[in-house]
Amino acid sequence: MAVYVDDPIWDWHGRKWCHLLADDIDELHRFAKAIGLHRISYQGPPRTNKPHYDITGFERSRAIALGAVSCDRTAIVMVLRQLRRKAA
């Protein structure tokens, strides 16, 4: 199983943000905790059908250092589609 991060291209509150996803929800939460994220920042059902965390460029660097796979926008969309198929 893998954890993925896309490029930090989204501007919000003076920072660049990106997405953290994983092949498995439990793995996503474990990994998020390992890089210092709080569970309250998780975005998934029922708020959205795309289980992920929004993270800053700094958090992205920590995620990559711990083994997350860096993806471009096209690749991260493919990961999201695979997750939706698994959930269906």
Do 41 and 54 contact (CB within 8 A), yes or no? yes
Domain with 7, as residue range(s), is: 3-87
At residue 44, the pLDDT reads: 84
At residue 87, the pLDDT reads: 66
At residue 88, the pLDDT reads: 62
Q: How many domains does the chain have?
A: 1
Work out the angle at residue 50's Cα, subtended by the Cα atoms of residues 47 and 56, and round it to the nearest 5 degrees.
90
Q: Which helix (H) or strand (E) holds 83?
A: helix 73-87
Do 28 and 20 contact (CB within 8 A), yes or no? yes
At residue 17, the pLDDT reads: 93
From start to end of 1-88, where are the E strands?
3-5, 10-12, 15-22, 42-43, 52-56, 69-70
At residue 26, the pLDDT reads: 93
Distance CA 88, CA 76 (A): 19
At residue 84, the pLDDT reads: 75
Per-residue pLDDT tens digits of the chain, which is 88 residues long: 799 999 988 787 888 899 999 988 899 999 999 999 999 999 988 787 788 999 999 999 999 999 999 998 888 888 888 877 776 6
